[in-house]
A and B are shown apart, each in its own frame.
Chain A
Amino acid sequence: MDSLPLSWYLLVAGVLFVCGVICMATKRNGIGVLMGVELVLNGANINFVAFSRYTRLGIDGQVISLFVIVLAAAEAAVALAIVLNFYNNHLTIDVDKGDELQG
C-alpha cells in the first residue's frame, strides 16, 4: 500500500527548513523570528520520522523527534519571556531596535 518514495518527505522537509531560515532572517518582529525557529525544527523532525520509517534507524528516530518537540517547547517558553522583557524595556518587539550593544 505504501509506495511513497523517501525523497518526497525529504523535499517537504527541505521546503520547511528553507522557509524557516528565510523567516528568521527577514522578520523584524521578534515573535516572527520564533516562528521561523519552529519551522526549522519541524523540518528536521519530518526528516527524523521519515528516516525512522525507511531505514534501520527504527524507533530511535521517533524518540529523538519527541525530544526535539519538547526542547522546542522549552525554547519557545524562554524566548517568549525574553521577548516580553525586551518589550517592557523598549515598548516594541522590533529586533532592529535592540542594538545598544553594538560597538
Chain B
Amino acid sequence: MSGTEILFLIFAAATCGGALAVVFSQNVARMAFWLIVSLGSTSGLFFLLRADFVGATQLLIYVGGTVVLLIFGVMLTNSSPYLRIRASSGELVLACGVGLLLMSVIYSTVFVVDWSKMSPRSAEQVGQGYNPSGEGNTARPIGMKLLGLSLEDLGTHRKELSSGYLLPFEIVSVHLLVVLIGAAYLARTKRRIDSATRVGASGSART
C-alpha cells in the first residue's frame, strides 16, 4: 500500500466520519466541530488531487469563514449552551432508511460505469509545466482560465478558443455584493423595530 493510498484512506475516513458525526450528534456546537473536521479533511482530498489552490481556498473560505459564521449563528441563537432540539427517533430511522436507499442508487450508478480506464492526467496535460517553481501547481492555470486562456491547449493543435470565466466571475462578484447588502439589511431590521418600540413604550410610560 503506497503512501498516497494511506493518506487517501486517512482523509476519506475523516471526511466520512465527520459527516456521519454531523448527522448523528444532537448538540449544535459539536455538529459545528465535526463539520470543521469533515471540511478540513475534504481540503486534504483536494491536495491529494493536486488541486492546491482549491484546497487552500476550501481551508480559507469554508473552514475559516463559513463555519465561523455558522458558529456565530449558534452563539447568537442559543438561549442555553447545551440546547438540544431533538428529532424524534422514528423520523431519524425513516430518514436513515431513505438515505440508505439514496446511497444505494448513487453507488449503483457509480459502479455501472467502468472507471478503471480513467487514469490521472500527467502534469503536462494539466498545463502545470508552465508554472515556475514555488508558485504552486494550479494557481496560474486557474487565473489564465478565468481570463479565457487555457494553458492545457497551448502545446496541442486545438485551435478553438475556450470561452473563459470572466462573465461568471463578474456575476459572482455582483452576487456577493448583493448578498452582503441583503444580509446586513436582514440582520439589522429587527433592532430598528426594537428601538422604535422601546421609544414608543418609554414615551407612553412618560405620558
Contacts and interface: CB of A to CB of B under 8 A. Distances in A.
Whether A associates with B in a native complex is yes
Given A59-B142, A59-B151, A63-B142, A14 B77 contact: no
Contacts of B49: 9, 49-50, 52-53
B182 A81 contact: yes
Interface in A11-47: 11-12, 14-23, 25-32, 34-36, 38-39, 42, 45-46
A53 B19 contact: no
Contacts of B15: 12, 15-16
29 contacts: A2-B4, A7-B111, A15-B19, A15-B20, A16-B38, A18-B103, A18-B106, A19-B22, A20-B19, A31-B70, A35-B31, A35-B70, A46-B42, A54-B118, A54-B121, A55-B118, A59-B138, A60-B145, A62-B142, A65-B54, A66-B54, A70-B176, A78-B183, A78-B186, A80-B72, A81-B186, A84-B187, A87-B77, A93-B85
Given A8-B8, A28-B86, A31-B77, A84 B96 contact: no
Interface in A71-103: 71-74, 76-78, 80-85, 87-89, 91-94
A81 B183 contact: yes
A15 B99 contact: no
Contacts, number: 235
Contact of B126 (A17, A59, A91, A94): A59
B152 A42 contact: no
Contact of B57 (A66, A71, A76, A82): A66
A84 B186 contact: yes
A81 B172 contact: no
Main secondary structure of the interface of A (DSSP, over half): helix
Nearest to B93: A26
A84 B4 CA distance: 43
Interface centre among A16, A22, A94 (most CB of B within 10 A): A22
A49 B168 CA distance: 18
Contact of B42 (A42, A52, A54, A74): A42
A76 B66 contact: yes
Interface string B46-64: 1011110110011001100
Nearest to B35: A35
B162 to A, nearest CB: 8
Contact of A53 (B28, B32, B77, B121): B121
B76 interface: yes
A4 B175 contact: no
Contact of A52 (B38, B51, B175, B176): B51
Contact of B87 (A28, A31, A67, A72): A28
A67 B79 CA distance: 35
A-B pairs with lowest CB-CB distance, top 9? A19-B19, A81-B186, A74-B179, A22-B99, A81-B183, A88-B190, A18-B103, A87-B77, A6-B115
Contact of A10 (B22, B73, B115, B119): B115
B158 to A, nearest CB: 11
